[in-house]
């Protein structure tokens, strides 16, 4: 007996019965109890599995749970509206796919990279599994590619351990928009502090322009606003350990 989980198991059982359209037979049913008049009324035991197809009315089932301590519960399960099946190949395309690999040491990381190169299947599915089903350790590497061939070809480069420089480019005018950086401002204190600090030194109403959009198309506000935004982004990336070798723009 599943003890406290018996009620939940019953709910799961009925959901699966609705999903597959089959009422499963009752387990361990050797002989029906004599305390029930099985010939009277419409109550009967499921000695065999039975089809349970959808009809004009939604299918419903009652699940009861009776606790030894006196706690009784009854749940009514009703089928929902059918959900359309996903169309094969309907996944949104991605320009690049990251494969995130980590290990306890550099040697183990190289071995993990070799293992990643041998993985088959959709590169997006592989990338998802590497992120969601693997433990995260101190030594990490990220492979980026547009397809499996590019991802695999990056393995020896990353495994060699040769570091490549990182550059940061500050963009010019033209990319400003109302509310830019709002999500980062609300989510990351480092970004918020840097943005407020820069705005406080500029002497023009940058914050008001970003929030309302008023005057944001003018060079005198657009360029300071972009500068404040990108400095805050740079500080945020630096807090995550990104250390560029060159900053231009």
Q: What is the pLDDT of residue 56?
A: 86
Report d(CA 136, CA 161) in Å as an integer: 19
Q: What is the pLDDT of residue 2?
A: 74
Per the rule left: phi > 0, alpha: psi between -120 and 50, beta: everything else, 9 is alpha
Q: What is the pLDDT of residue 90?
A: 46
Identify which of 163, 160, 173 has the alpha carbon closest to the alpha carbon of residue 216. Answer: 173
Residue 110, both tokens: 């190289």
CB within 8 A of 213, min separation 6: which ones? Answer: 178, 179
Residue 202, both tokens: 């500029």
The model scores a pTM over 0.85? no
Buried b (16+ CB within 10 A) or exposed e, 147-171: ebeebbebbeebbeeeeeeeebeee
Residue 31, both tokens: 């002989």
Q: What is the pLDDT of residue 146?
A: 86
Residue 58, both tokens: 């939604």
CB within 8 A of 71, min separation 6: which ones? Answer: 65
CB within 8 A of 243, min separation 6: which ones? Answer: 166
Per-residue pLDDT reduced to its tens digit, 119-177? 888 888 888 998 898 888 988 888 888 888 888 888 888 888 766 778 888 887 777 88
Report d(CA 219, CA 174) in Å as an integer: 9
Average pLDDT for runs of 10 along the chain of length 249: 80 93 88 85 85 90 82 89 62 75 90 86 88 88 87 84 78 80 91 92 86 82 88 92 86
Instruction: For each of the domains in the chain, give its residue range(s) and CATH number, in order of start.
Output: 3-78 (3.40.47.10), 97-159 (3.30.70.3290), 169-248 (3.40.366.10)
DSSP 206: H
């Amino acid at each position: 007996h599943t003890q406290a989980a018996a009620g939940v198991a019953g709910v799961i059982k009925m959901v699966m019965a609705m999903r597959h359209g089959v009422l499963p037979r009752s387990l361990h049913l050797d002989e029906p109890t004599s305390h029930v008049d099985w010939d009277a009324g419409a109550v009967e035991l499921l000695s065999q599995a039975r089809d349970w197809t959808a009809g004009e009315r939604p299918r419903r089932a009652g699940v009861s749970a009776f606790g030894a301590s006196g706690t009784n519960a009854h749940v009514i399960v009703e089928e929902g509206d059918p959900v359309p099946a996903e169309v094969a190949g309907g996944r949104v395309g991605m320009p690049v796919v990251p494969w995130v690999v980590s290990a306890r040491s550099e040697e183990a990381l190289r071995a993990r990279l070799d293992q990643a190169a041998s993985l088959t299947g959709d590169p997006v599915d592989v990338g998802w599994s590497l992120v969601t089903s693997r433990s995260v350790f101190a030594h990490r590497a990220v492979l980026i590619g547009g397809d499996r061939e590019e991802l695999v070809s990056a393995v020896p480069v990353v495994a060699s351990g040769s570091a490549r420089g990182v550059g940061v480019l500050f963009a010019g005018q033209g990319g400003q928009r109302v509310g830019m950086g709002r999500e980062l401002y609300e989510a990351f204190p480092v970004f918020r502090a840097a943005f407020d600090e820069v705005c406080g030194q500029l002497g023009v109403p940058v914050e008001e322009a970003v929030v309302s959009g008023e005057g944001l198309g003018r060079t005198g506000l657009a360029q300071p606003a972009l500068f404040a935004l990108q400095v805050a982004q740079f500080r945020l990336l630096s807090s995550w350990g990104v250390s560029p070798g060159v900053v231009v723009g």
